[in-house]
Structure 1
Amino acid sequence: MVKGPMVFPGLTGRDNGSVLDDRSREIFRRIVESYLESGEPVGSRNLSRLLPMSLSPASVRNVMSDLEELGLIYSPHISAGRMPTQTGLRFFVDAFMQVGNLSEEDRASIDRQIRPPDRDQTLENLMADASLMLSGVSRGAGIVITAKNDPVLKHVEFIRLEPTKALAVLVGDHNQVENRIIDLPAGVTSSQLGEAANFLNAHLAGQTLPEFRGQMKMLKEQVASELHTLSHDLVERGLAFWSGDQEDGKPGQLIVRGRANLLEGLADVSDLDRLRLLFDDLEKKDSLIEILDLAEKGPGVRIFIGSENKLFSLSGSSLIVAPYRDGEERIVGAVGVIGPTRLNYSRIVPMVDYTAQLLARLSR
């Protein structure tokens, strides 16, 4: 059972719809709630049947006309009912929507689907599970962003594949596994591969790569005496392939699940074009930075509707996003949902909030 209303830090500044009288508030609320449920415009005749007060369709039309002048609703075509504008949706979210605490049933469902990392569950799998779960409950696309992170390494191994290539296996402290094929120097022997791995495991284990680079400067003489020149070259190559992807300082990974959900209910080709633009935006590395920036600018869950952020302005999508933090309260990533503007905001907001808290706890 959902408990009483709870104010999320990202949903402050409510004015309770004070610009509208009680009748206008009720009609506006019904229009928005009908749209969020069905995605369709609602007409005055249907509205008059839904209202708790007795109003004729003509009276409802007069109120709808006033709401339209305020820019809160519009008619998608002649003789149609009314739907909320982007301004109307923002007004509804800020002034009318009450966000309840997460139900015990939803909390238990999230806990079942997002398990702590263990021998069989890597940190990357944890993030993918979170993204998939949010996709399922929202019928949108679930997203998880992991910020740039320097993993603490536990083990390194080189496996020869052919005379000039080897598989480098690096295992991180949360059981992350990186498998990359690297080129071998000419004439390298299997014993030299073993020497390189032993050296790395002896000196690198328990450190991040940046920490080890600093140590390498102090260990140059030891490196020269302990390793053959070819083995030293392998050490250098082993460092390069792990760190190269993130040396630009950009966030590390964007995980998106449930893109097919966004295809449901598309009306025409223009909707497909907007969706294509959204997918193109998600493929760009800069979008990771932008989503993280959006999450960082305020505490708690934040809602962006349509063109309120430039990232999704052309696709007309909404974004519900919250940051998650490490043990030192630094923002290390973000979690959220991307979907059509008629998302079930009141249900999804507490889910995103709880998921962000859960990821923060499980990934430490």
Structure 2
Amino acid sequence: MASLKTTVADVSASLDDRSREVFRRIVETYLDSGDPLGSRSLSRLLPMSLSPASVRNVMSDLEDLGLIYAPHVSAGRLPTQAGLRFFVDAFMQIGDLSDGERDEIERHVRPTSADQPMEAMLTEASRMLSGLSRGAGLVISSKNDPILKHVEFIRLEPTKALAVLVGEHNQIENRIIDLPAGVTASQLTEAANFLNANLAGQTMRELRSQIENLKTQVASELDTLSQDLVERGLAVWSGEVAEKQPARLIVRGRANLLEGLAGSDDIDRLRLLFDDLERKESLIEILDLAESGPGVRIFIGSENKLFSLSGSSLIVAPYRDGEDRIVGAVGVIGPTRLNYSRIVPMVDYTAQLMARLARGQR
């Protein structure tokens, strides 16, 4: 089978009106039903008068360009992966969301109360994308950055303590830290009081920016042991642990991907997809895909290594916080015959709403 090695403009220029129409009908039939389209059926669908024999000649030219192929001898034609990419780039017209679709997205991607955890909103967004697309909805949130409400140090043994850090929504992070030699119970209390007085109500990112400024104040207000302890306590939030905290991946609607599977090969490919999603590295890879260009990105089949074995498509868009940092991504996973023109604006609008939440806007 020939491969599509030339540019979209080159291929587009090589197609006359008949070839473009034949190709468009083959792709649209595939996206609608997944079925191959034969020359006899095509000749009846075309707006111009073409005999089945003439249609077969056009099909042969499209095959030579690597745009379509015959899945079986004497069968109709299906688009290749390269053909789908060409169709998306050269033919597809992105639709607009209806008022009802916008309302449905907004209803799910907004907090129901002032203290609703972000996790619940992420889950709702994923479920909503699954329902509207009939694929699997995917939402990724990068490192959590909770506002700190309370800090406490609990001695475990002479040289170790448990740092208990409570966020504004009562999230609790417990981390074991090393203690300086000779720390007393009163110094543990003194250090915790200092942190609570100076740092409560701020995020981990904000704590990082204040560490250097606080060192001078710590040195003047606390003795050397307490100063060391405070800095170790800060490091739990602002340094190594915060950087290693994993992103969250929420996928809803996996059962949708089972619909229309023809046989064991399809199920095996789907199992590979689920295995990919379970791997920790997939979080970083999906975020990398989202970050690699502006707006909504479309990856078809083996165009990305994460889903190459399962042959699935991914439509994904990043969302940013108030400082224009990418803090997550939303998307839809499905078979290569997704309704791209309908799903792209869905993903785009959802990403816009998630960005508003990330910026603290309601």
Q: What's the CA shift for 1:167?
A: 11
Aligned residue for 1:266, secondary structure, equals coil
| TM-score w.r.t. length of structure 2 | 0.79
Q: SS of the residue aligned with 2:319?
A: strand
In the alignment, the residues of structure 2 paired with residue 93 and residue 15 of structure 1 have an alpha-carbon distance, to the nearest angstrom, of 15
Alignment of 1:36-75 (within 5 A): 36-75=31-70
Structure 2 equivalent of residue 153 of structure 1: 147
**Aligned positions of 1:321-340 closer than 5 A:** 321-340=316-335
Rate the CA distance shift 1:221–1:167 in 2: closer, same or farther, 3 A. closer
Partner of 1:178: 171
How much has 1:155 moved relative to structure 2?
A: 1.7
Where structure 2 has 5 or more consecutive residues not aligned to the other structure, the ranges are 1-6, 155-160, 179-185
The percent of aligned pairs where both chains have the same amino acid is 64
Among 293, 301, 310, the alignment partner of 2:305 is 310
Structure 2 CA distance for aligned equivalents of residues 84 and 109 of structure 1:
33
Structure-2 change in CA distance of 1:210 and 1:32 (3 Å): same
Provide the C-alpha distance between the structure 2 equivalents of 1:137 and 1:196, rounded to a whole number of angstroms: 51
Amino acid at match of 1:289: I
Deviates further, 203-212 or 314-323? 203-212
Indicate if the aligned counterparts of 2:322 and 2:358 stay in contact, CA closer than 8 A: no
Please say if residues 324 and 332 of structure 1, whose CA atoms lie closer than 8 Å, have aligned partners that are also in contact: yes
Secondary structure of the residue aligned to 1:145 is: strand
Within 5 Å, which residues of 2 pair with 1:127-276? 127-149=122-144, 151-156=145-150, 168=164, 170-172=166-168, 175=169, 177-179=170-172, 200-207=195-202, 208=204, 209-211=207-209, 214=212, 217-218=215-216, 219=218, 222=221, 240=236, 246-248=242-244, 252-276=247-271
Aligned length, in residue pairs: 343
Q: Which runs of 5+ in 1 are unaligned?
A: 1-11, 186-190
Render the CA deviation track for 1:143-177: whole Å, top value 9, x for unaligned.
1222235x2524237799xxxx99956224xx4x4
Q: Distance in 2 between matches of 1:192 and 1:215?
A: 21
SS in 2 for 1:52: coil
The equivalent of 1:99 in structure 2 is 94
Aligned-partner SS, 2:328: strand
Q: What is the TM-score with the length of structure 1 in the denominator?
A: 0.79
Matched AA of 1:119:
A
SS in 2 for 1:347: helix
Paired residues of 2:163 and 2:177 also in contact (CA < 8 A): no
CA deviation string 1:16-50 (max 9, x = no partner)? 93321111111111111111111121222222222
Relative CO higher for 1 or 2, CA cutoff 8 Å, sep ≥ 6? Answer: 1
Match of 2:284 among 280, 286, 289: 289
**Cα 1:179/1:265, change in 2 over 3 Å:** farther
CA shift in 2, pair 1:328/1:241, >3 Å: closer
Q: Aligned-pair distance for 1:110?
A: 0.7
* In 1: Cα distance, 2:11 partner to 2:73 partner: 31
Residue 114 of structure 2 corresponds to which residue in structure 1?
Answer: 119
- Counterpart residue identity of residue 208, structure 2: P
Alignment partner of 1:21 is 2:16 = yes
The amino acid of 1:25's aligned partner reads R
RMSD between aligned alpha carbons?
3.7
